[in-house]
Amino acid sequence: MQAIENDRSSLIESEHDYILNTYKRLPIVIDKAVGCRVIDINGNEYLDFLAGIAVNALGHSHPRIINAVQEQIFRYMHVSNYFYQDTQIKLAQNLCRMSGFSKVFFTNSGTEATEAAIKLIRRWGLKNKKTNILAFSGGFHGRTYGALSIMDKPRYKDTMGPFLPNTQVIPLNDIETLMSSVNSDTAGVVLEFIQGEGGISILTPEFVEMLMELKSVHNFLLIADEVQCGIGRSGRLFAFEHWNIRPDVIIMAKGMGGGLPLGGLLVDENLSDIWETGMHGTTYGGNAVACATGMVVLEELESGLMEHVQSMGEYFRRELEKIHATNPKKVLQVRGLGLMCGLLLSFDAGLLVNALLERKAIANAASGNVLRMVPPLIVGKTEINEFVTILQKALDSIDIQ
């Protein structure tokens, strides 16, 4: 056991020595993971309600994901977008069929998809003599320069810049500011219908209604960032469906690849010819192996998984409301849709994250005082009950005097 602990300490020290200091990692070294659980090199088993930050939609080591990877690797791994690839084309067909949108552009990640969306807005804006891009406080759209330009978190921006011009970030759900900010020069509005990093904050119906009214008046592109809340996470294919609206562009990633790097844009028919050959591209985007796992995710969603998410999401929220009722001074609010859940706390959520970790459960903090819980979409009542029991014990251990 001492040798294993030495290995753990050595690996953590080596990470400090050789990898740039950009992550605040949990102090565990993962050895393997199955279903809703991860196991460290010491053999400790953790209940995973983070799922790689909403990436492992089908849990860890799902047999269909593994089989899809193996089958595709035996055919080929990478050939670039100089060639037609059946796996990529079939995934695009299914995405368009299921969403009702017209065409896809594949990327490797959410931030790449955001950059593509910003370029698309600028291209459309140039044609329509519009320049401004509007986004909302608390939003998270990635770490690249374009994405940072439409975010307002000081920790990500204060020591960098200058950022893209003609971008503006305004308060979320503030109808008056929205009305005064949108005008005839607005080219695009980028928003998450459920903010992840922003603390599982949800758009109000009144705000969305006004946004759509302004869109009809000023004719701008509406870009739904569904990187975290999409691909079944909310109980529907995309979260915006809960508001009965239709954006012009959907940004996708995270759960889309079932654990492999895969993202993309879905565009409506009015934008299907916005780009000409060579205007945008990617070497790895739409990689065949990632597209193969993406196909599995979509097939599972169509085979009852979204209904399962709705059922388990409702059950989880009921259990979290009990936690809220039992701990009113510590838990101020239950937030979320489907299996994208949050607890607004009266204290730093990092304290609860650490208390959970000590009890072998994993979640993370968002927006300072919100506990974010985004378990694999396959989670069942057994895992939810186990997590809620651990959560109560973790809350009991925290003194907020």
Does 15 fall in a domain?
yes
pLDDT for residue 9: 87
Mean predicted lDDT score pLDDT of the chain: 96
Contact indicator for 142, 109 with CB cutoff of 8 Å: yes
pLDDT in tens, 209-225: 999 999 999 999 999 99
Residues 122 and 228 in one domain: yes
Does 252 fall in a domain?
yes
Full residue range of the structural domain in which residue 158 is found: 63-301
Residues 195 and 71 in one domain: yes
The structural domain count of the chain equals 2
How many other CB atoms are found less than 10 A from the CB of residue 249? Answer: 25
Residues 233 and 95 in one domain: yes
Token duo for residue 135: 């986004």
pLDDT of 94 higher than 80:
yes
Residues 94 and 220 in one domain: yes
Residues 38 and 79 in one domain: no
Cα distances from 284 to residues 263, 264, 277, in angstroms, run 11, 12, 17
Residues 198 and 147 in one domain: yes
Cα distances from 32 to residues 46, 206, 283, 376, in angstroms, run 11, 45, 30, 16
Does 310 fall in a domain?
no
Backbone phi, psi, residue 233, to 5°: -60, -35
Does 50 fall in a domain?
no
Residue 6 pLDDT level (bands cut at 50, 70, 90): low
pLDDT in tens, 21-76: 988 899 999 999 999 999 999 999 999 999 999 999 999 999 999 999 999 999 99
> Minimal CA–CA distance to 49: which of 28, 67, 35, 70?
35
pLDDT for residue 150: 97
pLDDT for residue 1: 52
Residues 39 and 90 in one domain: no
Residue 4 pLDDT level (bands cut at 50, 70, 90): low
Which CATH number covers residue 167? 3.40.640.10
Residues 15 and 118 in one domain: no
Return d(Cα 157, Cα 13) in angstroms, integer. Answer: 28
pLDDT in tens, 354-392: 999 999 999 999 999 999 999 999 999 999 999 999 999
Does 347 fall in a domain?
no
Residues 39 and 124 in one domain: no
Does 232 fall in a domain?
yes
Residues 190 and 217 in one domain: yes
Residues 124 and 40 in one domain: no
> Minimal CA–CA distance to 274: which of 251, 253, 248?
248
Does 74 fall in a domain?
yes
